[in-house]
């Protein structure tokens, strides 16, 4: 599979990402997540969807074997789309994909004509910190920029251990950056929801678990250490996204 196939629109000449050394929480089998953020031109939403659908139809017809999911932000710019795929090994990018080659040459001009900007980011799942989640259609990403990576990993590891000990039902999925982009998140954790209604339900989060384990004063001390590890500028932000099934592709479902 080549990079264009994995991200659908790599021919847009999105930013090139340089891999960096993994931290100690990176497991050999933890997959890398490729996120392509697309900005669709105003007034081109339907045309973009039609072009994407045509590409998907061609890809399926030609036996395309790589899946992706497409997500639309609920907040922020209304004309954004995130196309998300994953690989286990860098070597997978060397593989050829005949279906992608055929369909990209046929549909790339129409598809990319509706996109004004694209940016690619690469993260690796951090299995030691993550729970298991499936069947979700809404996610909330908590993004962190870090000044002291060692201190951040130490305190997050402690928080995660307490949540595991408490057998928390709402363990998030953590990702660490393997690319270097200015102002991009160094880490993010994903909250998963079956649907929007699930967001209305009360959940025991990390603060509840730590307060139960350490008391209010102890939990406050942990949060102070967490805050101290974050960057001074743009340390945190979040994104809420919904899955767009009509623009997502899974060969296993065909």
The predicted pLDDT at position 24 comes to 37
Task: Give the residues across from 191 on adjacent strands.
Answer: 140
Regions of the chain short of the pLDDT cut 50: 1-27
The predicted pLDDT at position 88 comes to 94
Q: How far apart, in whole angstroms, are the C-alpha atoms of residue 130 and residue 32?
A: 14
The predicted pLDDT at position 133 comes to 85
In this predicted model, what pLDDT tens digit does every residue of 52-88 receive, in sequence order?
A: 999 999 999 999 999 999 999 999 888 999 999 999 9
């Amino acid at each position: 599979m080549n990079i264009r196939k994995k991200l659908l629109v790599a021919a847009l000449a999105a930013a090139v990402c340089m891999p960096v050394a993994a931290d100690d929480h990176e497991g050999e089998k933890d997959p890398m997540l490729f996120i392509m953020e697309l900005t669709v031109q105003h007034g081109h939403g339907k045309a973009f969807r039609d072009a994407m659908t045509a590409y998907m139809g061609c890809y399926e017809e030609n036996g395309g074997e790589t899946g992706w999911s497409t997500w639309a932000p609920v907040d922020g710019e209304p004309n954004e789309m995130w196309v998300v795929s994953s690989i286990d090994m860098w070597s997978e990018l060397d593989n050829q994909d005949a279906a992608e080659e055929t369909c990209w040459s046929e549909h790339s001009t129409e598809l990319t004509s509706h996109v004004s900007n694209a940016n690619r980011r690469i993260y690796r799942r951090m299995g030691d910190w993550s729970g298991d989640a499936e069947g979700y259609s809404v996610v909330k990403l908590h993004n962190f920029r870090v000044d002291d990576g060692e201190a951040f990993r130490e305190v997050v590891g402690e928080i995660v251990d307490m949540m595991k000990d408490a057998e928390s039902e709402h363990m998030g999925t953590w990702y660490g950056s393997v690319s270097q982009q200015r102002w991009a998140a160094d880490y993010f954790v994903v909250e998963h929801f079956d649907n929007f209604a699930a967001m209305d339900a009360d959940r025991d989060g990390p603060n509840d678990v730590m307060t139960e384990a350490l008391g209010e004063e102890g939990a406050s001390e942990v949060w102070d250490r967490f805050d101290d590890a974050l960057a001074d500028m743009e340390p945190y932000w979040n994104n809420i996204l919904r899955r767009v099934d009509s623009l997502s592709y899974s060969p296993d479902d065909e």
